């Protein structure tokens, strides 16, 4: 059995995916702005992920921009039936690599068509509406208008399932009044745990929770306590951080990002690491 399969599965829309997936953002290049640091390696990481049993890839057309989706298409198209590609809309990149909101109905429609074209798909399996918030945390602004626009695109058959990113519990309830929400992608990891209650609520609803920055993102997690636990277990801190997420709740779907095949395999091996109650208690103190 490959590593990704050992993590078990959870429902994402009408598909069952392995709980260890892959986040493709970092492949776009330094600053998530193309060209990739090493194009051949980026393609190799994507192919290695699929070979190891990954069947859930997270992306966006604003990574690069366009670059990450074009890499996914080059590496993996025609796509395996079991592969679920989840994308997100709501931003565009400036020529200076800046991140800018793009959340009008016209901009969201353009983004959906850009994703379809660059991924080489007729329909997008899951599209997350990425609320702007305060960059990596939600605010309480209404998302009714943009989410309604995406629901119309879903009605037109361009999107199979809708999700949300960077949202609060109130915004999720607002969106659920408009269309079904199959996943929520928010900032969460061992040391950033604002969403504890939200994860429990979504678990009860059968909605997938997909932590972004599971390893700390642009500044990967660093903690003496985590390093101590990892050393005791003979594992790397990153592997422990992912194993902790897998044990946190069954509705957590992981999308760690890496541009290295070695790191990819290390991350997928988190499924084989079972953390004892004692270790979990020590990690609680982080």
Residues with active-site annotation: 63
Dist CA 175 CA 278 (whole Å): 39
Judged by CB under 6 A, the stretch of 1-9, 92-100, 256-264, 273-281 that binds ligand NAP is 256-264
220 binding ligand NAP? (CB under 6 A): yes
CA proximity to 7, closest of 279, 286, 248, 262? 248
Sorted by sequence, the CB contacts under 8 Å of residue 165 that are 6+ apart come out as 88, 90, 128, 129, 130, 131, 184, 185, 186, 212
Please identify, using beta-carbon distances, which residue of 220 and 281 lies nearer to ligand NAP. 220
101 binding ligand NAP? (CB under 6 A): no
260 binding ligand NAP? (CB under 6 A): yes
Please identify, using beta-carbon distances, which residue of 212 and 281 lies nearer to ligand NAP. 212
Tell me how many degrees the CA angle 100-146-62 measures, rounded to the nearest 5: 35
Sorted by sequence, the CB contacts under 8 Å of residue 86 that are 6+ apart come out as 12, 56, 57, 58, 59, 125, 126, 127, 128, 163, 183, 210
Q: Which of 119, 182, 184, 215 binds ligand NAP (CB under 6 A)?
A: 215
Sorted by sequence, the CB contacts under 8 Å of residue 232 that are 6+ apart come out as 279
Number of neighbours of residue 137 by Cβ within 10 angstroms: 12
Q: Give the shortest CB-7-to-ligand NAP separation in angstroms.
A: 15
255 binding ligand NAP? (CB under 6 A): yes
26 binding ligand NAP? (CB under 6 A): yes
Q: Which of 171, 251, 267, 269 binds ligand NAP (CB under 6 A)?
A: 267
- Partnered with residue 250 across adjacent β-strands are none
165 binding ligand NAP? (CB under 6 A): yes
29 binding ligand NAP? (CB under 6 A): no
Q: Which of 24, 75, 179, 283 binds ligand NAP (CB under 6 A)?
A: 24
Binding mask 116-155 for ligand NAP (x = CB under 6 A): --------------x-------------------------
Find where tokens 């793009």 sit. Answer: 102
Sorted by sequence, the CB contacts under 8 Å of residue 14 that are 6+ apart come out as 160, 161
238 binding ligand NAP? (CB under 6 A): yes
Dist CA 198 CA 183 (whole Å): 12
Q: Give the shortest CB-260-to-ligand NAP separation in angstroms.
A: 4
258 binding ligand NAP? (CB under 6 A): yes
Q: Which of 102, 118, 266, 268 binds ligand NAP (CB under 6 A)?
A: 266
Q: Which residues lie near ligand NAP (CB under 6 A)?
A: 23-26, 58, 88, 130, 165-166, 185, 212-217, 220, 238, 255-260, 263, 266-267
């Amino acid at each position: 059995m490959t590593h990704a399969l050992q993590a078990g599965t959870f429902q994402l829309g009408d598909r069952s995916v392995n709980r260890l997936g892959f986040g493709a953002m970092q492949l776009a290049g330094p600053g998530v702005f193309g060209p990739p640091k090493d194009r051949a390696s980026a393609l190799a990481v994507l192919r290695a992920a699929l070979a190891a049993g990954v069947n859930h890839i997270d992306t966006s057309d604003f990574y690069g921009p366009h670059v990450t989706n074009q890499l996914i298409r080059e590496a993996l198209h025609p796509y395996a039936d079991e592969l679920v590609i989840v994308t997100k809309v709501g931003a565009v990149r400036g020529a200076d690599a800046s991140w800018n909101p793009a959340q009008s109905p016209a901009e969201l429609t353009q983004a959906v068509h850009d994703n379809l074209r660059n991924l080489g798909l007729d329909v997008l399996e899951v599209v997350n509406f990425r609320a702007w918030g305060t960059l990596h945390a939600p605010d309480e602004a209404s998302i009714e208008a943009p989410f309604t626009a995406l629901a119309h695109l879903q009605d037109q058959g361009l999107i199979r399932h809708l999700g949300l990113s960077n949202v609060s519990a109130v915004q999720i309830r607002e969106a659920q009044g408009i269309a079904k929400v199959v996943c929520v992608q928010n900032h969460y990891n061992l040391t950033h745990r604002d969403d504890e209650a939200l994860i429990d609520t979504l678990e009860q609803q059968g909605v997938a929770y997909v932590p972004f920055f599971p390893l700390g993102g642009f500044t990967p997690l660093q903690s003496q306590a985590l390093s101590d636990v990892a050393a005791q277990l003979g594992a790397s801190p990153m592997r422990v951080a992912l194993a902790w997420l897998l044990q946190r709740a069954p509705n957590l779907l992981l999308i760690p990002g890496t541009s290295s095949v070695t790191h990819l395999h290390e991350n997928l091996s988190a499924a084989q690491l079972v953390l004892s109650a004692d270790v979990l208690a020590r990690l609680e103190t982080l």
